[in-house]
Amino acid sequence: MTCASCAGRVEKALTKVAGVESAAVNLATDKVTVTFDQARTTLPTLAASVQDAGFTLILPAAEGVSVDAGETHQQKAYLQLRREFIIALALAAPIMILSMVGMTHWFMAASPVSMNEVQTLLLVATTALIVFSGKRFYVAAWRLALHAGVDMNTLVTVGTGAAYLYSAAVVLFPGRFSSLPGGRGVYFDTASTIIAFILMGKMLEAKAKLRTSDAVTALMRLTPKTAHIVRNGKEFEIPIAMLGVGDVILVRPGEMVPIDGVITTGESSVDEKMVTGEGIPAEKKAGSAVIGGTMNKNGSFLFEVTAVGADTFLSKIITMVQDAQGSKAPIQALADRIATVFVPVVIGIAMVTFVLWLTVGGGPFSTAMMNFIAVLIIACPCALGLATPTAIMVGTGRGATLGILFRNAASLERAHDVDVVVFDKTGTLTKGAPEVTAIAPLNGWDRNRLLERAAAVEFHSQHPLASAIVESARVGGIAVPGEMHVTSFRALEGFGASATVGVDSVIVGNGALMDSLGVELDTARPAADAFAAQGRTAVYVGVNGVCVGVIALADEIHATSAATVAGMFRMGLDVVMMTGDTEASAHSVAAQAGIRRVVARVLPEGKALEIKKLQSKGHVVAMVGDGINDAPALAQADVGIALGTGTDVAIETADITLMKDDLAGVSTAIALSQRTISTIRQNFFWAFAYNVVGIPLAAFGLLSPAIAAAAMALSSVSVVANSLRLRRVKLPVRP
């Protein structure tokens, strides 16, 4: 494919096949994404329909599904263009020089050959150039003509063909043109330079397009080809493709983790930046999950394979990015509509130009022909076709390197309109697990002794608050509660727990439990009330009928939450927090995060209704969540953003997934969307302006065909180059 017209013809051919629901062609990658019913059609049938339209569909079975095959296809196309350009340049340069000096009297006076012989030499050289370098345009145009189609190749073929055939006729049949005003001139230099310039542009364009998929290529290259498997106490090196779930793999310092799994023995730190965007290596130990494609830093470990092939984390990321890059953004619809009529309209303008210059303009035939050619060559449907897909590819690729996955191009486009961001509280703004934040010992007890007794009881409980108390004891270096002599444990659902620790009767729970058991709380209530006012949960600890202290627990906010919210305000976004938690807890977390608008005590369905209310007021809403209860709200929002550390349901529902537990990615995703859409609009402006200005200039005889060819060649390159700037654009930096 060479332009948007080509892409449109391929899409039209595919969508006509029975059973095809949709087809989206990406001109930047030469790929098409097809949704079809396998019971009604097959891939060979789709390939046949594309063949009938004048193109060739390279099926996965023929090329392979790895990056190597796809990269080879595009690399081969680039290398072929480079070879053809070098040949064209080597021939066009002397043709141009000989054409220029051949018109001078001093050259002909000193030359041992006649003008006819010079022109014959130019004919031979130009013919060679067309056969070896320009053939691609003529073959493509002829193939399309057989299917009643036209595209950029048609414009190039008609333009250069007219100059070549006219000039060849002048050389071969000079007597026929002797009486035509201005008709004895030849224009081999025009045909040759047009082909050379357009090949140069195509070569630069192909080189630049290779760079638009750098992010995906880098992800695909992460996985090593082999792994060190351990079986029956012996180590073997086998290809990754031979691994299965349950295999045990050895990873040494400095080696890549070959596939997903869970560590069984050993510990280390693992650099996961390329797949999660996290710059700080993650500490791993027995029970920790590891991701294929990450780099082991300083320790050896054994891990058990948990996923292979398309089920691995890295494969899912690559698929998600490729799906996004292969999809179409709604903003591209205008270019698609124009592409369907662009080439026929340009051919019509060129023919009108030729006729008017011959009749009204009163100029010689040669002038009319040169202006006719200039109109054909200056028109560039390529720039229009590349305006959107190149920017989408670079934008989604840049997002992937930052740990941000866009579901499709529409998600990327929609995010730039967001003006309200709604955050879930638990697990999104907060860490999602309670932590001990304060301890108030009473009646002569010290902090460590109090925590020791409470942890001894809670060690036997499964409640999240109990786990937080046990973890606090461990972090504080207090004796492992499980090693203490604990008997008569009772879990009192909704109230707390009790047990005998050594010789002491210990109760850990809420005020209702203490009151029911007759434990006096007068001295403890001030501390408990103060904790509650701060949005914390107060847990009383009673020993032998006496309250010996109060432990405060809270779901702490992420370290980046406040900075992220502040950054959104600077971007002009409004921020809302929605939670099913109490008013006190909700407002406490909101205050810490810097959020002023809070909706508390709302059920999952209620969150979706609240978002609908915002949308009814004209707002474009993004919802950020991580749990199953966020799925309705994520689906209702204009843009659903899920944390990659959340549930699969939330991620499947979301339009954007953050691969790491870092809310700074929300503002980064929105900013990336804004810059990508801005780039697309710039591309469209220059593509439209180029054609709107260039075609009239050519029609009025103000552009020579050679200059028109150079301008056409560089127009597509400029669009791709402008899109590539997204790789370096400054975005909100993660705190």
- Parent domain of 54: 4-65
Closest CA to 624 of 643, 647, 603, 598: 643
Same domain, residue pair 292 and 339:
no
Q: In what order do the strands lie in the sheet with 295-296?
A: 282-284, 268-271, 295-296
Cα 596 to chain centroid, rounded: 32
Confidence of residue 201 (pLDDT cuts 50, 70, 90): confident
Mean predicted confidence (pLDDT) in 3-30: 86
How far does CA 52 lie from the centroid of its chain? 33
Q: Which range among 409-413, 447-451, 536-540, 652-656 shows the weakest confidence by mean pLDDT? A: 652-656
Separation CA 425–CA 601 (nearest Å): 11
Distance CA(282)–CA(150), nearest Å, equals: 55
pLDDT attached to residue 106: 66
Query: What is the average pLDDT across 529-537?
Result: 83
Q: What is the mean pLDDT of residues 495-506?
A: 88
Q: Is 722 within a domain?
A: yes
> What average pLDDT does this structure show over 626-652?
72
Is the predicted pLDDT of residue 211 greater than 80, yes or no?
no
How confident is the model at residue 182, as a pLDDT? 46
Q: What is the CATH number of the domain that holds 472?
A: 3.40.1110.10
Whether residues 427 and 563 share a domain: the answer is yes
Distance CA 429, CA 422 (A): 11
For the chain, the average pLDDT equals 84
DSSP state of 309: G
Confidence band, pLDDT 50/70/90 cuts, at residue 404: confident
Please report whether residue 165 resides in a domain. no
Three-class SS of 96-138: HHHHHHCCCHHHHHHCCCCHHHHHHHHHHHHHHHHHHHHHHHH
Helical (H) or strand (E) element with 35? strand 31-36
* Greatest mean pLDDT among 80-89, 158-167, 272-281, 459-468: 80-89
Give per-residue burial for 597-625: e unless 16+ CB within 10 Å, then b: ebbbebebeebbebbeebeeeebbbbbbb
Distances (CA, A) of 514 to 461, 496, 534, 543, 573: 18, 9, 22, 11, 47
pLDDT digits (tens, 9 = 90+) for 369-399: 889 998 988 887 777 777 888 888 888 888 8
Beta strands in 433-530 (DSSP E): 435-441, 486-492, 496-501, 504-509
Q: Is the pLDDT of residue 251 over 70?
A: yes
Chosen domain end from 673, 689, 712: 673
Report residue 16 CA to chain centroid gap: 29
Instruction: Give residue 272's pLDDT band: very low, low, confident or very high (50, 70, 90).
Output: confident
142-183 pLDDT, tens digit each: 888 887 777 778 888 888 888 898 889 888 887 665 555 444
pLDDT band for 30, please (50, 70, 90 cuts): confident
Q: What is the mean pLDDT of residues 462-483?
A: 79
Rounded Cα distance, 191 and 218, in Å? 41
Q: Is residue 320 part of a domain?
A: yes
Question: Is residue 197 helix, strand or coil?
Answer: helix
Termini Cα distance of the chain: 44
pLDDT, tens digit (0-9, with 9 covering 90-100), for 295-334? 898 889 999 999 988 888 888 777 777 777 667 778 877 7
The number of distinct structural domains making up the chain is: 5
User: Could you tell me the sign of the dihedral formed by the alpha carbons of 194, 199, 200, 205, in that order?
Assistant: positive
475: exposed, middle or buried (Cβ count in 10 Å: 0-12, 13-18, 19+)? exposed
pLDDT range class, residue 62, cuts 50, 70, 90: very low
| Interatomic CA distance for residues 632 and 163, integer angstroms | 64
Residue 59 is part of a domain; what is its CATH number? 3.30.70.100
Does some domain include residue 82? Answer: no
> Cα 531 to the chain's mean position, in Å?
45
Q: What residues have CB less than 8 Å from 234, skipping those under 6 apart?
A: none
Q: What strands lie across the sheet with 261-266, from one edge to the other? A: 234-239, 226-231, 248-251, 301-305, 261-266, 289-290
For residues 387 and 465, membership in a common domain is answered with no
pLDDT digits (tens, 9 = 90+) for 701-716: 888 888 888 887 778 7
| Strand-pair partners of 131 | none
Mean pLDDT of 189-213: 81
- Kindly state whether residues 389 and 411 are assigned to the same domain: no
d(CA 556, CA 585): 11
Closest listed residue to residue 145, CA positions, set 213, 230, 53: 53
Q: For 573-614, how does the pLDDT look when each residue is reduced to its tens digit (9 = 90+)?
A: 999 999 877 787 788 889 989 999 999 888 777 888 999 999
Say if 84 falls within a structural domain: no
pLDDT computed for residue 274 by the predictor? 65
Query: Is residue 481 one of the residues assigned to a domain?
Result: yes
* Cα three-residue angle 664-667-669, rounded to 5 degrees: 105
Report residue 200 as tokens.
């140069």
Query: Are the C-beta atoms of residues 723 and 210 closer than 8 Å to each other?
Result: no
Instruction: Write out the H or E segment, with its range, that includes residue 33.
Output: strand 31-36
| Predicted pLDDT of residue 609 | 92
Check: CB of residue 52 under 8 Å from CB of residue 17.
Answer: no
Distance in angstroms (rounded) separating the CA atoms of residues 661 and 672 = 18
Q: How far apart, in whole angstroms, are the C-alpha atoms of residue 546 and residue 84? A: 92
Instruction: Dump strand ranges (E) for 240-315.
Output: 248-251, 261-266, 268-271, 282-284, 289-290, 295-296, 301-305
> Alpha-carbon distance 291 to 719, whole Å?
37
Strand partners, 501: 486, 504
Residue 384 lies in a domain: yes
HSE of 565 in the Cβ direction (CA atoms, 13 Å)?
24
Answer whether residue 491 shows pLDDT above 80: yes
As a whole number, mean pLDDT of residues 472-485 equals 74
- Has residue 646 got a pLDDT over 60? no
| Shared-domain flag, residues 493 and 354 | no
Please report the pLDDT score of residue 627 as a whole number. Answer: 58
pLDDT the model gives residue 184: 54
Residues 588 and 484 in one domain: no
Which of 22, 47, 65 delimits the end of a domain? 65
Do 419 and 455 have their domain in common? no
Same domain, 629 and 494: no
Q: Tell me, yes or no, whether 50 lies in a domain.
A: yes
Is residue 190 scored above 70 in pLDDT? Answer: yes
Per-residue model confidence (pLDDT) at position 18: 94
Burial class for 114, CB neighbours closer than 10 Å (0-12, 13-18, 19+): exposed
- Where does the pLDDT of residue 69 fall: very low under 50, low under 70, confident under 90, or very high at 90 and above? very low
Closest CA to 634 of 618, 645, 644, 621: 621
* Helix residue ranges per DSSP H, 130-247: 135-146, 152-172, 188-212, 214-220
Q: Is 721 helix (H, G, I), strand (E, B) or coil?
A: helix
pTM above 0.85, yes or no: no
Residues 425 and 443 in one domain: no
pLDDT at 647 over 90: no
Looking at the structure, do residues 449 and 493 belong to the same domain, yes or no? yes
Catalytic center residues: 424
- The verdict on 625 and 696 lying in the same domain is no
SS3 label, residue 512: helix
Helix (H) or strand (E) holding 8: helix 4-15
Domain endpoint, select from 17, 43, 65: 65
Residue 276's pLDDT is: 62
CATH of the domain at 418: 3.40.50.1000
The reply to whether 423 and 564 lie within a common domain is yes
